[in-house]
Structure 1
Amino acid sequence: MTSLVLHGETLPLVIASSEGPPHMIDDVHHGIDLDIVEAVLRRLGYEVDYQFMGLKRAGREVEMGHVDVSAPIFMQSDVVGSYISSAIVQYQPMVFSLKKSNLAPASILDMQGHSVVTFLGAPGYFGADFGLLTEGDNYKELTDMSVIPELLVKGRYEFAVLDKYIFYYFYRFNEKNKDVSIFTEHKLIAPVSASAAFHDADLRDAFNRELVEFMLSEEYKQIFERYLGTALFSSEP
């Protein structure tokens, strides 16, 4: 679809994704991941359009050529019809506590015996040690991630486990300069790179070349600040 022309007009590239703020948002702005993909494609001279669906379906749609791009993509390799880009953003699963609590776990197992709140299905992402936490009486999984930062602030739980950008997005949802120094970040879970999948290998290659330059730009930093406020941008990956 990258070169389709209809009645003399080039059609926009179609990006398929799902809803998952602040990484993917079906709104005027489209979240960290999608804003990055769109900005790089616009630098290459393309206009874009969006279709929102489940991520698994998005992956199939790009492979079949029904859409041009899907994002985010995790831990996948190239197959015919789906060519994976360099990392566009680093997802950073993080253990948070209140700084005043003076907690200093050196591993996930050190969290045993403490109250923990996280998102529904978290053990499936974080390994066997994390699964042991679910056996505790003070362990809670929530479908609504937006309430997790406030529950930690109110002292309802000693630890909150959530992607760093999701946590701060909801914490600062109504006030982008809200103080984040009250939290301690415990980096006990490995980060995960998110990429984009392209139906056209040449477009993927051009995207990768432009992405290198874009990630050094002020615009890249501004995308993060749009959703997270200041002082939270990470240069990773």
Structure 2
Amino acid sequence: MGAKVKFDLTKFLAFTILIIGFSSQVYAENKLVKIGVGNWPPYYSKDGQSGIFIEIINEALRRAKIVNYKLIPTGHLRRTEWFERKELDIAVNLTTPPNVAKTHSLRVLPYSGTIITLKDSSKIRTLSDLAGLSIGSFIGSKTVYGEKFSKAMLNAHFTEIIDTNLIPRMLLHGRFDAIALDKYIFLSKLKKLEPEAFKERNYTFHGLLPITRAVIYFHDAEIWKAFKLALEDMQEDGSFSDIFEQNLKKLAE
């Protein structure tokens, strides 16, 4: 009798664990995953539904078998705020804010920051050559581009601009001697806002800025793990780099 009770109890526990596991899986599959993304072409479209990073995110989610999700384009400050309030499950940003740094994160989506001047301007070989010049960049650029850039800007006439559409135009029209901006964001904005200048190629990319990577951070450890494995798989089979190459080739046309 004792053996039978023990056997029945074992079956009951196994069945209970199975049901709980099944319920958790169904919940995970049906739960809407809200993802905060940017709105800087060519990495994101203005509506946040296409672009280089969006294609990578969509493919990683597909491989991770996360089908019920919504991409929400916002400014980076609002994105951080919504993530902190758990109104977003995932957020993609240039930096990981200190108060969310303990969450699961991945730093994998590369930007191509560079110093840009007009072709007939002063020669720039190092950041120290920017001393005394008028330099423009986006809000938060000193944090993104690091200590060396920040120190160099102390000796320059440095301005951070809220409207990033103005930055390439202000360079072209002589308001800035140089700008610090992602190479492909610059080309994308120029192609749309100043098509003739885009064709003329009257600008020079100097590099000089560190490689930066967008951070993807997560509240849910299981989603983080599945997404991480999917990205690793994409990097191994070459699809990660293919997405970049195909989109950047279109941009150059």
TM-score (norm 2): 0.68
Partner of 1:83: 104
**Residue 120 of structure 2: SS of its match in structure 1?**
helix
Deviation at 1:59, TM superposition (A): 3.1
Q: Is the 8 A contact 1:84 1:196 kept in 2?
A: yes
Cα distance change on mapping 1:225 and 1:30 into 2, 3 Å: same
State the structure with bigger RCO (CA 8 A, min sep 6), 1 or 2.
1
Q: Is the 8 A contact 1:33 1:72 kept in 2?
A: no
Partner of 2:133: 114
Distance in 2 separating the partners of 1:21 and 1:127: 25
Pick the aligned partner of 1:206 from 226, 249, 253. Answer: 226
Q: Is the 8 A contact 1:93 1:161 kept in 2?
A: yes
Distance in 2 separating the partners of 1:156 and 1:74: 28
1:173-199, CA deviations, whole angstroms, 9 ceiling, x for partnerless residues?
A: 265x94474322122222222121122
Q: Does 1:59 align with 2:83?
A: yes
Deviation at 1:122, TM superposition (A): 4.1
Counting aligned pairs with the same residue, the percent is: 22
Alpha carbon RMSD of aligned pairs, Å? 3.5
1:78-129, CA deviations, whole angstroms, 9 ceiling, x for partnerless residues?
A: 63xx311241x2233321012233612322x211233333335544554222
> Aligned letter for 1:130?
M
- Number of residue pairs the alignment of both structures matches: 215
Q: Does 1:39 align with 2:59?
A: yes
Distance in 2 separating the partners of 1:29 and 1:207: 18
* Residue ranges of structure 1 left out of the alignment (5+ in a row): 232-237
Deviation at 1:75, TM superposition (A): 4.6
Distance in 1 separating the partners of 2:62 and 2:248: 18
Pairing 1:150-161 to 2, within 5 Å after superposition: 150-161=169-180
Q: Is the 8 A contact 2:48 2:73 kept in 1?
A: no
Deviation at 1:224, TM superposition (A): 4.7
Q: Is the 8 A contact 2:131 2:153 kept in 1?
A: no
Cα distance change on mapping 1:68 and 1:140 into 2, 3 Å: closer
Pick the aligned partner of 1:27 from 37, 47, 62. Answer: 47
Partner of 1:165: 184
Greater helix fraction, Structure 1 or Structure 2: 2
Q: Does 1:71 align with 2:92?
A: yes
Partner of 1:235: none
Q: Is the 8 A contact 1:83 1:198 kept in 2?
A: yes
Q: Is the 8 A contact 2:80 2:91 kept in 1?
A: no
Pairing 1:189-228 to 2, within 5 Å after superposition: 189-215=209-235, 216-217=238-239, 218-224=242-248
* Residue ranges of structure 2 left out of the alignment (5+ in a row): 1-23
Q: Is the 8 A contact 1:35 1:223 kept in 2?
A: no
Q: Is the 8 A contact 2:37 2:79 kept in 1?
A: yes
Distance in 1 separating the partners of 2:126 and 2:27: 57
Q: Does 1:130 align with 2:130?
A: no
TM-score (norm 1): 0.71
